[in-house]
Amino acid sequence: MDKETKKNIGVLQAFYFFAFFASGSLIPLLSVYLSNSIGLTGFQIGIIMSIGPVITIFFQPIWGMLSDKTNAPAVILKLCTFFAGICGLGYLFFDRFSWIVAIATLLAVFQSAIVPISDSIAIKYASKNNYQYGNIRLFGALGFGVAVFIMGRISDMEPTSIFIAFFTALIICAAATIKMPKEKGETIKNPLKGIKELIVYKKYMLFLAVTFLVFSPNLANNTFFGLFVENSGATYSGIGVAFLIAVLSEAPFMKIAGGLIGKFGLLEITLFAGAISLLRWIFYFTAPSLALVYATAFLQGFGVGLFIPAGIQYIRKIAPVSMMATAITFYSAIGNGLGNWFNTFIGGIIFNYYHITDVYLFFSILTGMGIVLNLYLIREEKQEAQLKKQNLKKVG
């Protein structure tokens, strides 16, 4: 690897670190801030925390098309990171629910562009230079975990510091885009094209349901985990420790996922990831001690670190080649957008009327349903494989 390539890789890694440092400063601690410092209800918190996933569904394709049209993804990335950081400061000046909703909406519009556009740049550059994209993306997980750990401690003394950290990290990202390699993002011009055709593919739609039921609760957990850890007796610092353990556990599982998939199969790995998630949610429903919460936080590595690579590979396996881009985009919208919103919104209602542990009972029920669908898909694939084998014998 030449000096210029090393420099560009370093810029990309720095961008991911600070982009996810910003998210780690805000997302896990925002719900606690809104509850303790502003005094919002669980229902109101659920609405605010669900805004981001909803905006993601609609605005990610728009930012992608704009990136293609202008052929300037780094410029768009610079503008979006800058304005997202500015919007984050809005939380410092308003404490009325209506204004906080407006701030969260505007922030989500700009923040929704950051991950897909940076991914498109990083994936293309890594591929062109024979470098593993995972070695770049890993810095995102590191940034998120470090942010929650550090900001958890600082916000114990000053809760509003999470917004300053969010702003500062995204300004650094905006500056990093100036040195970022000028790669054109491989975004999708019309992400809705072909969805009608995809609906007829039974296995594809079933796996979307599995993703909605099994994977989405893991994303929504980022909203409620801070409240859960606090309820277990932790301070902001303790929340940071728990998140650090959970988030950093994802990286090693992503690294070994390829070998496990080759040995056991794609659906078998998503089933295993779902089973571990189910055990985790049931365990949290029992309101364990804080020490046991810390001891089991690493289970997130199974639920997220294994499901992500197995899920995307399964979509690539079953979707028609002619509709691959649309299939992946729609899959992402269901898991990261719609599913995340649904779990966050309903979880907020449950938290408002019942208890934080009951949110995890809700996650348990959904995940259990997803596991049943996953088992059904495994049976379907085995039956298909047997049928093909019989047909080959007949032809032979």
**Using H for helix, E for strand and C for coil, what is the string for 302-351?**
HHHHHHHHHHHHHHHHHCCHHHHHHHHHHHHHHHHHHHHHHHHHHHHHHH
Indicate if the pLDDT at residue 363 is higher than 60.
Answer: yes
The predicted pLDDT at position 187 comes to 46
- Residue located via tokens 């079933």: 206
Indicate if the pLDDT at residue 341 is higher than 70.
Answer: yes
Q: Give Cα 268 to chain centroid, integer Å.
A: 21
> What predicted TM-score, i.e. pTM, was given to this entire model?
0.73
* Of residues 158 and 361, more confidently modeled: 361
Which of the residue ranges 27-36, 58-67, 276-285 would you say has the lowest mean pLDDT?
58-67
Nearest to 82 by CA among 26, 166, 7, 147: 166
The predicted pLDDT at position 175 comes to 93
* Secondary structure (3-state) at 234: coil
Indicate if the pLDDT at residue 62 is higher than 70.
Answer: yes
Indicate if the pLDDT at residue 186 is higher than 50.
Answer: no
**Does residue 77 contact residue 177 with C-beta atoms inside 8 Å?**
yes
The predicted pLDDT at position 68 comes to 63
pLDDT confidence band for 132 (50 / 70 / 90): low
The predicted pLDDT at position 329 comes to 65
The predicted pLDDT at position 324 comes to 60
Q: Give Cα 87 to chain centroid, integer Å.
A: 21
pLDDT digits (tens, 9 = 90+) for 80-118: 999 999 999 999 998 889 999 999 999 999 998 887 788
Is the four-CA dihedral 262, 118, 108, 299 of positive or negative sign?
positive
**Does residue 236 contact residue 29 with C-beta atoms inside 8 Å?**
yes
**Does residue 309 contact residue 137 with C-beta atoms inside 8 Å?**
no
Share of residues in the chain with pLDDT > 90 (%): 34
Q: Give Cα 311 to chain centroid, integer Å.
A: 13
Indicate if the pLDDT at residue 185 is higher than 70.
Answer: no
Length of the chain: 396
Q: What is the mean pLDDT of the chain?
A: 84
